[in-house]
Structure formats: C-alpha cells, structure tokens
Amino acid sequence: MERDELTSIRQRATMTNTVALSSDMDTLYIIENGRPFEYSLLHPNGIFVGTMRGQIVAGTAEAQPTSDQVERKITLSAKRSFWTATYRRSDQTFNVIGATDIDVGIVESVELKTQIHRLPIGKALLHIHRSGDTITICVMKG
C-alpha cells in the first residue's frame, strides 16, 4: 500500500449535523455528531425546524401557527406514500423527497410517482405536524 492510500484511509469525515425521518414518518431526527435527537411529529402542536449558524435545529412548538404566520403550506399524504427528509447545509434547504401512490404487491412494471419539495430554512422556520395520514409542513413568515 502506498503512503497516499494509507493517509486517505486514516482520514475521517465528520458530519456536524443532519436530519432524518423515521420509516413510519412519525418522528424527525436531528443527528448531531453521531447522536440522534428525536422530535415527535405527532405532538399536538408539532415541531419547529430552523437553522442557527448553518446548523439545523428543532424544538417542540408551544402552539399551532396561525394562518397569518404561514407563508407557504405543503400537505403530504402518508397513506400509500413514503417520505424522507434531508438537510443541505450549502444552501440551507430542507428537502422532502417522497414516493407516492405505492402499491404493495407484485406487478409487471413498477412506476413510482416521486415528489421533491425544497424548502429554504436559512431565514425562516418550518412548522411540521402529522395528524392521521397527513403531514403538514408550513414555511413561517420571517
């Protein structure tokens, strides 16, 4: 093994923080330095997600936002769908990616409908809440 290869093997990338959504889409995880912190989307008031100096942060909301506090609202179906969330630090976007209209079973050709929602959170908070088969994401006014 050459010296350059050995050096590259010893280097380790550290992910400062990121976000993930549980497979049942009930919990949002903020992963900070390898440790997950969980926030229930089923909490009656939902959660707020934002950034602080480029890092993604979250907290339980004290109350549901009023309509005059909301700039944009996205409603996602959790029925026959699967959603996942990512955070892109370089442009401070919260991305929700989903495969919708999933049919369980064997079919000849599988054609998934996908959706991507890119939400800028560098200067705005997101309010996320799940109720039944609906996940609501609100971009709050700045």
Q: What is the pLDDT of residues 122-140, one digit of tens each?
A: 889 999 999 999 999 999 9
| Mean pLDDT score across all residues of the chain | 85
Q: Tokens standing for 21?
A: 């959504």
- Residue 94: predicted pLDDT: 94
Q: Which residue has the higher pLDDT, 113 or 11?
A: 113
**Quick count: other Cβ atoms within 10 Å of Cβ 64?**
13
- Residue 54: predicted pLDDT: 87
Q: How far is CA 123 from the centre of its chain?
A: 17
How far apart CA 98 and CA 77 sit, in angstroms, is 10
C-alpha to C-alpha distances, 66 to 42, 83, 139, 142, nearest whole angstrom: 18, 25, 12, 14
Q: What is the CA radius of gyration of the chain?
A: 18
Cβ contacts of residue 63 below 8 Å, gap of 6+? Answer: 45
**Quick count: other Cβ atoms within 10 Å of Cβ 40?**
15
Mean pLDDT (whole number) for 83-88: 91
**Quick count: other Cβ atoms within 10 Å of Cβ 58?**
19
CA angle 33, 36, 118 (to 5 degrees): 90
How large a percentage of the chain has pLDDT more than 90? 57
- Residue 4: predicted pLDDT: 54
pLDDT in tens, 2-49: 555 555 555 555 556 889 999 899 999 999 888 899 999 999 999 999
Can you give the residue ranges of every domain in the chain?
Answer: 3-140
How far apart CA 42 and CA 100 sit, in angstroms, is 21
